[in-house]
Amino acid sequence: MKNVFHIIYDGVEALDFTGPHDVFAMANLVTKNSNGATEVPFSQHTIASSKKPIKTAGCITITPDYTFEDDIPEVDIIVIPGSPGIVDICVDDPMITWIRSHYTNENQIVSICLGAFPLVVALDKKLDGHALTTHHAFIKKLEERLLALEIKASIARGARYVSNDKVLCSGGVSAGIDAAFYFLSQTEGNELARRTADVMEYNRTINWVQEG
């Protein structure tokens, strides 16, 4: 079972993390219902700078499961959702410190929408040679950030999502759902991804081509 940690904070775009969260949660349910399995693919957690409830951009209040200072289960997947408020995130932000201390070449990191900005600050030169993406309205800003940090990464303009082995980036907001389905198909098999999409009545989109 993979431990998924969704980073949350005040002003976060709710669908950026609830979209992927629901894909993984539904995959767990489909797994249980299809074969009576006691072991499911994912165990999901929220993590923030404190235990104080956060309020999303749409004013949904959520209480984090963990703080960046807590002892936590082994981290297998880090999900970084976006918000305009983190576009200019600094290297000494507690979120960046936590990502740097928990991301390795052995686990997975996923940025959704403007979550690409903490991603590049945290991973820095580890992203050399990678292709990245973000919300289409912030592509130029991401290019400027890469240039300022001297990161030799490219921008996949117009991509719904882009994968570089252990680094997965999605475009804006709803694109995180398709990125989560891509990850699900790669790690748990396309059949589970297909059945999960069917239960969710969701038409998967693969880089703007609707899946048949």
pLDDT in tens, 174-200: 999 999 999 999 999 999 999 999 999
CB burial of 67-79 (b: ≥16 within 10 Å; e: otherwise) equals ebeeebeebbbbb
Taking only the tens place, the pLDDT of each residue in 54-67 is 999 999 999 999 99
Q: How far is 29 from 25, CA to CA, in rounded Å?
A: 6
Structural domain spans, the chain: 2-210
**What average pLDDT does the structure give for the chain?**
93
Q: How far is 77 from 101, CA to CA, in rounded Å?
A: 13
CB burial of 169-204 (b: ≥16 within 10 Å; e: otherwise) equals bbbbbebbbbbbbbbbbebbeeebbbbbbeebebeb
Taking only the tens place, the pLDDT of each residue in 129-145 is 999 999 999 999 999 99
Give the tokens for residue 51: 């235990």
What value does the CA radius of gyration of the chain take, rounded to a whole number of Å?
Answer: 16
| Start-to-end Cα distance in the chain | 29
The yes or no reply on domain 2-210 and CATH 3.50.50.60 is: no
Taking only the tens place, the pLDDT of each residue in 69-87 is 999 999 999 999 999 999 9
- Best CA proximity match to 153, nearest among 134, 132, 171, 133: 132
Question: Residue 179 in contact with residue 161, Cβ under 8 Å?
Answer: yes
Axis crossing angle, helix 116-123 with helix 94-102, rounded to the nearest 10: 60
Banded model confidence at residue 207, pLDDT cuts 50, 70, 90: low
Q: pTM, whole model, 2 decimals?
A: 0.94
Average pLDDT over residues 30-38: 81
